[in-house]
Amino acid sequence: MDRAGHPRHLGASWRRARPQGVIGIATRHEHGEEVLDHIVEVGPAEVNLDRIRKLIRQRITPAPRGVRVGWSCGDGGRVAFIDIPAQAVDTLFVVPAPVGKPGSPRTDTVAVPMRDGDSTHWLPRTGIQQLLSAGVRASGMPTAQALTELLGQAVSKAGPDDGLRVGQGLPDREREMRAVYGQLAGEGLGLPAGEAWAQGTAACQDLHHERDGEPGWVLCLVAGRPAVAVAAPVWQATVEVGRHAPGPDPLAGIGLPRPPEGTDAPWVIAAGSRSVNVDGGSWGADRLTCSGRGVWRWQPLPRFSINQGRSAENRTAGQTTALRLRAVVNLPWAEASRLEISKPRRTLLEQQLPYSAVAGAVTMLSRRRGAELSAARRERGPFGNSARTAAYSCTIAGPDGGPALKASVMLALPATMESTVVACSDVLVENPQALAAALGSGRDTRLGFDEVQAVLLSTWKTAAELLPALVGDPAGLSWAAPPTTGLRMTCEQLAGNGVLPALDSLVDPASLGTNDDGTRSHMADTITAAPAMDRAERRSLLREALVHMAREFGRVDAEVDLLQLGGRTTT
């Protein structure tokens, strides 16, 4: 049994099922069973949705969380629905026993309903006794003294109508919750709608609104930061966004609503809020925003790391590129395995690539050296194309016909059990000597760091905005994890002594300051941020990422102000 005296294992049957009900569909009998037949249109005159919500709160203890009651319009008419999301595994729900006059259930007795297909049976007294006995065997029988003390507390703290208390269900947090509730007096918080529950290390409780008919609240206390009272619609929106993450707890990834930075007192997040900060989940400190159409979406707050995912070196095996400048965008969309690359979208991409940012980056490198090496011609490959992969490249050859400079793009949809779409854009100096010959005698092929920035900005824009359109409109997809972008500079062609050359031999890092950690053949950084952004924001984040990368790889004097994009860019 749990601390509230509930058998822990009973809730599992509730949690596995997602109870749903629809009002307005007629049935017919077929082979001894009722099956759905046709829609019978109903409206507010026949179905009072507010009354249904009140009955759920009044007759089910504790009131189930996240219940949605509303209208759904179909071709055949209008129906009402009741949707109850999965509840906590350690919660036992009871209702007034179905005895007495119709419409007047007994409030001094309770019963446990059990769903069986489309019917309900009531757990008999012997079944309840067996469950309670199992709980006692698991946790031990409370002593008579302990039961007496609990009874005394319940009697002393019960209100005149024997209603629920603020904090009831979490004895260790009750005093704290009652204090916060008092601090928020006047904010519209009504009486408790159910017992308090633990959400990870947080203490939460559903509350009514003090004005009847208004949406209720969820009081949420997280150790170490001010408490928040979240309007029920905003709380439910947070839960719904979090459902796309793997795992049974939708809030484990997205976290819980939190007050703005610098707030010391308890905070209220009203029903009309359009932006909510969230923190404490595995996704990190981020934000939820509501569009003009009322759609809530999760937006990661930008942050940096040198940790690289397994996609960082995708499609590099067997290649001997002298210098690779790469942007890899990881797009962990929910239900990504259902996405597809259609022929019309592939054709559109082929038409757009000659005018893309990455194509312009190749042209920019040649123009700065007095040549005009166009990347307008695109070929499929070299990684191959399939129903779930798109790959294109453009190779600029040297005088001997060998590759000198190359630009390539690739988008790969995930396998069946994965959720991450990978978009990649590269600019490669295949052979510095061949490139110098193609440019003309005396041309330096060593890249200035302003050129490196311009190229990485172009590859990032291509991978983050152009390639994702292969699957449709990315704005309509939901995240199952935070999206990331990996920026990489790598030397991959062995020198004559059998080792990889230092980046300094192909890139001028002077603007990053001196290197206190020895020479390196590669540097990389990972940005957690939404892929789509305006040009100024992308440029700013790129500079911050490069400074973070430089410092992590030994150039501790690197500063954002020293990184200025010079010359013309194609973004």
Which whole number is the average pLDDT over 334-343?
88
Considering only CA atoms, which of 409, 361, 327 is closest in space to residue 565? 361
149 is a domain residue:
no
316 is a domain residue:
no
Does 281 share its domain with 358? no
The residue type of 57 is R
Chain centre distance of CA 361: 32
74 pLDDT more than 60: no
- What backbone phi and psi angles, to 5 degrees, belong to 14? -70, -40
d(CA 433, CA 506): 12
Does 398 share its domain with 544? yes
Lookup: tokens for 371: 């040549």
Helix (H, G, I), strand (E, B) or coil at 254: helix
> In the chain, pLDDT over 90 holds for what percent of residues?
38
236 is a domain residue:
yes
* Domains held by the chain: number: 3
Asked which of 83-87, 142-146, 248-252 is least confident by mean pLDDT, the reply is 142-146
Does 372 share its domain with 269? no
Query: CA-CA distances (angstroms) from residue 463 to 207, 417, 456, 526?
Result: 46, 23, 10, 14
Across 14-18, 156-160, 201-205, the highest mean pLDDT is recorded for 201-205
| Per-residue pLDDT tens digits for 349-394 | 999 998 899 988 988 888 888 777 766 567 887 767 888 899 999 8
47 is a domain residue:
yes
Tell me which of 110, 138, 166 is where a domain ends.
138
Does 451 share its domain with 544? yes
| Per-residue pLDDT tens digits for 106-123 | 555 667 777 666 667 677
| Per-residue pLDDT tens digits for 384-405 | 788 889 999 988 887 887 788 8
pLDDT of the residue at 110? 65
Domain region containing 172: 158-301
101 pLDDT more than 60: no
259 is a domain residue:
yes
Does 124 share its domain with 191? no
Does 41 share its domain with 106? yes
315: left (phi over 0), alpha (psi -120 to 50) or beta: left
What rounded mean pLDDT belongs to the chain?
Answer: 81
pLDDT of the residue at 246? 83
569 is a domain residue:
no
- Residue 123 sits in a domain whose CATH number is 3.30.950
d(CA 357, CA 335): 29
Which whole number is the average pLDDT over 47-70?
79
18 pLDDT more than 70: no
571 pLDDT more than 70: no
145 is a domain residue:
no
- What backbone phi and psi angles, to 5 degrees, belong to 13? -65, -35
Does 519 share its domain with 376? yes
> In the chain, pLDDT over 70 holds for what percent of residues?
80
Q: Are 312 and 488 in contact (CB under 8 A)?
A: yes
416 pLDDT more than 80: no
| Per-residue pLDDT tens digits for 251-273 | 999 999 999 888 888 999 999 99
pLDDT of the residue at 8? 31
Does 127 share its domain with 233? no
Does 363 share its domain with 424? yes
- What backbone phi and psi angles, to 5 degrees, belong to 291? -75, 175
Tell me which of 103, 138, 173 is where a domain ends.
138
Tell me which of 301, 330, 351 is where a domain ends.
301
pLDDT of the residue at 10? 30
525 pLDDT more than 50: yes
d(CA 128, CA 130): 5
| Per-residue pLDDT tens digits for 430-489 | 888 888 888 876 678 889 999 999 999 999 999 999 999 999 888 888 899 999 999 999
Does 511 share its domain with 424? yes
Q: CB under 8 Å to 279, separation ≥6 — which residues? A: 255, 256, 258, 285, 286
More confident residue, 229 or 311: 229
144 is a domain residue:
no
pLDDT band at 543 (very low <50, low <70, confident <90, very high): very high
Does 345 share its domain with 485? yes
Does 204 share its domain with 284? yes
| Per-residue pLDDT tens digits for 125-174 | 666 766 776 666 666 666 656 555 554 454 444 443 446 899 999 999 99
